[in-house]
Amino acid sequence: MAKVIPKILSLVVFICLSNFSAIAQLDFDVACRSSQPFCSDAAQELTFPNITGEDISFNGLGCLNSTRNSSWYFIRIDQAGELIFDIQQWVDGNGNSRLDRGERQLDVDFIAWGPFPTSFINCEDLAMGCDNNGDGEGLRPEECVNNVDDPDYYVLDQDNTNIVDCSFARTPEDNVFIETLTIPNAQSGEYYFILITNFSDEAGVIQLQQTNLDEDNAGTTDCSILDPGVGPDVATCGELPVTIEGRFPGAISYRWFRGNLGTTNFTTAVPDPEGMFPFLEVNAPGAYQLIGYSDAGRTVEVGRDDLVVLDVSNVVESVGFDIAEESFAGEYTITASVVASPEAIASGFDATPTINGENFDFEYRLDRDLGNGFFEFRPFQSSPVFSGVPPGDYRITARYRDCPASERESEVFMILGYPKYFTPNGDGFHDTWSLVNIENQPTALIYIFDRYGKLLKQLRPGGPGWDGTYNGNNMPSSDYWFRVEFNEPRDPNMRRRVFAGNFSLIR
């Protein structure tokens, strides 16, 4: 669960790639280690050259009979959800990185794997075949299905491996030049690897395009992996260990250091006898710093960066609220507030609203009590503001985003109000009329009048209410008026107020 403000993305988003270089892979056991990071970002539009002249092919890799001219990439998930990409390849005759009319499209195939906790993996962990009977033995490429033939095969994980999707055009006569990659339920922080082939061995460009960003429950990719360093801070909901990683251009060896939360003093070196790979399995919250070196002896520094790993299970210390309107306003605006733990504040996980009054690290739910216990009145939302709330008894539940263990409740608060009507017909529903939540004001004075100003009833706060009679006789269906003198609970001095309004008696 990475501490990242979500990006606002447009309908069609192209892939942006960091320092792309086409590397011919010669050995599957090490091929994926040269993978290039990419992400979806509306700010950039990018195609990249394919690979030609590579004779080595990993025959029988998933649904692919050949992986000639293979290009390797990886992504990291930002917002959880489904990701759908179109992959296509063409001869870019005018070099404008756009598929123009008359430009010839090329066959393109792919296979994808995941999820993984890091981009530094053993390539042998990538499944080369499928296991349709699910016995975990004898994985065979022959069992893998082309998603063109069965779109649900990989979505439903019928392959029983870490192959996420795989597709190829069956024959040139099919005239299929766009392949579709689907990652159905990606979670924040996961990594996925993608191999794309150029079977025709013709020079051209490849383009990946995420096509579902305007849809509900669409996931996004994390563009911070394109930048040097260690990426965003990590929030974990009590789940340890977690894996962190980073990169620096020109670095061939690394060293990790650890410090206390809120510190900039990294003095404790993390034991790392090899120092080859810039990823670390973290077993405890803290501040971590990565330094990259250009030499194996780790003497020439080329970059350093740090991040925080925070367990957010206890990040919410208390929950407060503010009600904008005074009593009997009819509808109310309630603003929640959170006091975060000192460790969270020191680490930059602050609950203060930042963007359009929202803070995407925290979320809030409004619960209401109708006399038989609290229920969810408004679901969790990133904004602390609840508008158009009617009178009643409420409490607010706040938590760190997607972390149920961090949930804390406010005290119960009551908003004064009055029913717009009542129906004294003896059915047990709305048979009497009284003010809402006036029972805690014993000095309040409540009067009921007819349309001519005649006093019909004086009510006692917390009493049974008015039953629609006067001197033992039923009053007719009509509008009636009330007047209440009370102490304003929204005023810190509880000043005395008078409010008058009307309601309907319906028979």
pLDDT tens for 204-214 read: 988 888 888 88
Tell me the β-bridge partners of 182.
84
3-state secondary structure of 29: helix
- Evaluate whether 362 touches 397 at the Cβ level (below 8 Å): no
Indicate if the pLDDT at residue 476 is higher than 90. Answer: yes
3-state secondary structure of 311: strand
Indicate if the pLDDT at residue 76 is higher than 80. Answer: yes
> Given this chain, do its domains 13-226 and 234-312 carry the same CATH topology?
no
pLDDT (0 to 100) of residue 118: 86
pLDDT greater at residue 397 or residue 340: 397
- Where residue 105 falls among pLDDT bands split at 50, 70, 90? confident
Convert 224-281 into a string of H (helix), E (strand) and C (coil): HHHCCECCCCEEECCCCCEEEECECCCCCEEEEEEECCCCCCCCEECCCCCCCCCEEE
pLDDT (0 to 100) of residue 18: 44
What architecture is domain 421-505?
Sandwich (2.60)
| Range 263-268, long-range pairs (CB < 8 A, 24+ positions) | 263/287, 264/306, 266/306
Give me the residue spans of the domains in the chain: 13-226, 234-312, 315-415, 421-505
Question: What does 361-423 look like in DSSP terms, one character per residue?
Answer: TEEEEEEEESSS-EEEEEEEESSSEEEEEPSEEEEEEEEETT-GGG-EEPPPEEE-B--SEE-
**pLDDT (tens digit, 9 = 90+) per residue, 148-190?**
899 999 999 999 999 999 998 765 566 668 899 999 999 988 9
What sign has the CA pseudo-torsion 150, 155, 160, 162?
A: positive
Supply the CATH classification number for the domain 234-312: 2.60.40
Q: Within a 13 Å sphere around the CA of 396, how many CA atoms are in the beta-carbon half?
A: 26
- Evaluate whether 499 touches 468 at the Cβ level (below 8 Å): no
- Evaluate whether 349 touches 438 at the Cβ level (below 8 Å): no
Site of tokens 């109708």: 370
Rounded mean pLDDT of 127-156?
A: 92
Task: Compute the distance between CA of residue 441 and CA of residue 28 in angstroms, rounded to an integer.
Answer: 77
For 315-415, CATH number out of 3.40.50.300, 2.60.40.10, 3.40.190.10, 2.40.128.20 equals: 2.60.40.10
Instruction: Determine phi and psi for 314, rounding to 5 degrees.
Output: -120, 30
pLDDT greater at residue 355 or residue 191: 191
pLDDT greater at residue 104 or residue 145: 145
What architecture is domain 13-226?
Sandwich (2.60)
Cβ burial of 262 (10 Å; 0-12, 13-18, 19+) is: middle
**pLDDT (tens digit, 9 = 90+) per residue, 456-467?**
999 999 899 999
And the tokens for 493?
């001095």
Reference 340, options 329, 330, 331, 348; nearest CA is: 348
